[in-house]
Amino acid sequence: GNSVTQMEGPVTLSEEAFLTINCTYTATGYPSLFWYVQYPGEGLQLLLKATKADDKGSNKGFEATYRKETTSFHLEKGSVQVSDSAVYFCALSDFRSGGGQLTFGSGTQLTVLP
C-alpha cells in the first residue's frame, strides 16, 4: 500500500534560518504529492502541491520538488519567520484509489524563535 515517511520533530529554528523537512513516499502508481500546514487550533490547509515528476510546488517562500528517482518531496524555505511555526504534513494522493483519499505522514512540528 501507499505510505509517507517524514522527518520527525520537533524542529526548533531561529528566525531567518534555513528549513528542510524531509519526506519520502512509497506508492505503486504515480501519485500527486502535497504539503499541508496546520496552525495551532486550526484545520489543515494546503501549502503546496506537485502532480508529476520534476514538478516544483511553491507558496509563501516554501518549495518542494517531486523527485521520482528518490521518491522524495522535501520541503524547504530559505528564511523562516516566527509566523511559520506550525505542524507540517507531507501527503500523497493516488488517483487509482477511487476516492482520492490522502495518505499522510506523521507530521513535523516546527517552532521558530525570534
Residue 57 binds other proteins (CB under 8 A): no
User: Which residue in 8, 5, 1, 7 sits closest to 24, CA to CA?
Assistant: 5
Q: According to CB under 8 A, which one of 19, 44, 80, 112 is a site residue for other proteins?
A: 44
Residue 75 binds other proteins (CB under 8 A): no
Q: According to CB under 8 A, which one of 20, 59, 79, 101 is a site residue for other proteins?
A: 101
Residue 74 binds other proteins (CB under 8 A): no
User: Distance between CA 36 and CA 93 in Å, rounded?
Assistant: 13
Q: Which residues lie near other proteins (CB under 8 A)?
A: 4, 32, 34, 36, 41-46, 49, 89, 93-95, 97-102, 104-107
